[in-house]
Amino acid sequence: MNNDKIRKVKEKYTGELLRKTNVVGVAIGYKEKGGQKTEIPSLVVMVRKKVPLSELRQQDVVPPEIEGVVTDVREVGEIKAQQ
């Protein structure tokens, strides 16, 4: 996967992703599976707390991929700006 493609998808969809309940950030990184980093470049979607799909409203679900770019939902807790 080309880094330029991932960057363009991030720029295009960050606002939309941040409007989803629970999403606190969007970054570019490598997908994690079972706590281990893989070699798969991805759009990392940071959430306060991971929630089962069955408990999310449809509009708050992060899709498994966006325009061919794999997404990786990661629980990061609350993010606070530092001075």
Q: In angstroms, rounded to a whole number, what is the distance separating the alpha carbons of residues 69 and 3?
A: 10
80 assigned to some structural domain: no
22 assigned to some structural domain: yes
Q: Give me the long-range contacts of 16-21 (CB less than 8 A, separation at least 24).
A: 17/45, 17/62, 20/59, 20/60, 20/61, 20/62, 21/56, 21/57, 21/60
31 assigned to some structural domain: yes
- pLDDT the model gives residue 70: 96
- Would the pTM count as exceeding 0.85? yes
Q: Domain residues for 22?
A: 3-75
8 assigned to some structural domain: yes
pLDDT tens track of the chain, all 83 residues? 678 899 999 999 999 999 999 999 999 999 999 889 999 999 999 999 999 999 999 999 999 999 999 999 999 987 777 77
- pLDDT the model gives residue 80: 75
14: amino acid identity, one letter: T
Nearest to 76 by CA among 35, 52, 46: 46
CATH number for the domain harbouring residue 63: 3.30.300
47 assigned to some structural domain: yes
Tell me how many domains the chain contains.
Answer: 1
- pLDDT the model gives residue 82: 74
Q: Which two tokens stand for residue 66?
A: 């966006």
18 assigned to some structural domain: yes
